[in-house]
């Protein structure tokens, strides 16, 4: 009798083990086609009073972003991103430049924060149909459209006695992103992502027309990406 019980127990345990393995296999065959990402890293603001960019004399400030991504095919996806970036003027402008700014009543300094949100389609260099079939390294690039709000404190001189004025502006922008990804595990990636937020204004800093281009933000972030299911079944 004891042998029969032991045999029945072994068969039962084997059956349970096979059932759980089959369920796990089925589960992993279901594509995790949503991705949550969070990124952090240094950034710069390209502005008229931002500094001397050719000589690398400008200010670095932190940036943070979070995004939700929906994979559409094995190569294409759509992504919504929101974030915050600190912005600051910098450098050491010449006396001639200062005189020009003073004559046009342009801001010498601008320090504050940019808040942004955008939607961007992107594509992978190496396509994959299922999250379990990702290559160890991959590359993605995207182009989209967004809206940005900035709030800065500005001064019309470098005098420490001048009280700064608060200025705000809302503008559209075109986000351009590219990244190299590395697979950490079955459900996670780590990416090194570069971003250009090309705005439609030259007046974020209160200084217009000094540089050849408008005011733009640039970021370099380390991004953690986590894959999850489209539907959660109880």
- Whole-number pLDDT of residue 133: 75
pTM value is: 0.83
Burial of 168 (0-12, 13-18, 19+ CB in 10 A): exposed
In the predicted model, is pLDDT for residue 111 greater than 80?
Answer: yes
- Whole-number pLDDT of residue 232: 41
The pair of three-digit structure tokens given for residue 63, joined into one six-digit string: 């940036």
**Contact in structure between 200 and 214 (CB atoms under 8 Å):** yes
In the predicted model, is pLDDT for residue 51 greater than 90?
Answer: no
**Contact in structure between 50 and 12 (CB atoms under 8 Å):** no
The pair of three-digit structure tokens given for residue 70, joined into one six-digit string: 């929906």
DSSP 57-92: EE--EEEEEEEEEEE-SSSEEEEEEEEEEEEE--S-
Lowest model confidence (mean pLDDT) among 12-26, 77-91, 216-230: 12-26
The pair of three-digit structure tokens given for residue 152, joined into one six-digit string: 């800065």
The pLDDT tens digits of the residues spanning 147-197 come to 999 999 999 999 889 999 999 999 999 999 999 999 998 889 999 999 999
* 17 band by pLDDT with thresholds 50, 70 and 90: very low
Distance CA 203, CA 161 (A): 24
Instruction: Please state the rounded mean pLDDT for residues 97-117.
Output: 93
Neighbours of 226 (CB within 10 A): 15
Lowest model confidence (mean pLDDT) among 2-16, 54-68, 139-153: 2-16
Specify the higher pLDDT residue, 133 or 141: 141
Specify the higher pLDDT residue, 162 or 32: 162
What CATH number should be reported for the domain whose range is 34-228?
A: 2.40.160.20
13 three-state secondary structure = helix
**Contact in structure between 104 and 203 (CB atoms under 8 Å):** no
Residue boundaries of the structural domains of the chain: 1-30, 34-228
* 12 band by pLDDT with thresholds 50, 70 and 90: very low
């Amino acid at each position: 009798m004891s042998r029969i019980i032991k045999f029945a127990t072994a068969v039962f345990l084997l059956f349970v083990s096979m059932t759980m393995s089959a369920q796990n296999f089925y589960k992993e065959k279901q594509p995790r086609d949503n991705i949550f990402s969070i990124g952090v890293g240094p950034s710069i603001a390209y502005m008229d009073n931002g500094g001397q960019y050719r000589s690398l004399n400008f200010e670095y400030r932190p940036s943070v972003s979070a995004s939700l991504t929906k994979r559409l095919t094995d190569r294409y996806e759509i992504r919504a991103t929101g974030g915050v970036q600190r912005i600051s003027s910098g450098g050491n402008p010449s006396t001639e430049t200062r005189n020009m700014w003073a004559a046009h009543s342009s801001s010498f300094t601008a320090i504050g924060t940019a808040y942004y949100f955008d939607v961007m389609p992107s594509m992978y260099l190496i396509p994959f149909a299922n999250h379990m079939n990702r290559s160890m390294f991959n590359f993605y690039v995207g182009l989209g459209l967004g809206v940005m709000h900035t709030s800065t404190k500005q001064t019309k001189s470098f005098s420490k006695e001048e009280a700064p004025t608060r200025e705000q502006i809302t503008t559209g922008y075109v986000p351009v992103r590219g990244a190299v990804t590395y697979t950490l595990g079955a459900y996670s990636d780590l990416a090194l992502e570069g971003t250009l937020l090309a705005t439609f204004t030259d007046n974020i800093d209160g200084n217009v027309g000094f540089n050849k281009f408008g005011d733009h933000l640039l970021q370099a972030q380390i991004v953690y990406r986590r894959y999850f299911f489209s539907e959660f079944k109880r």
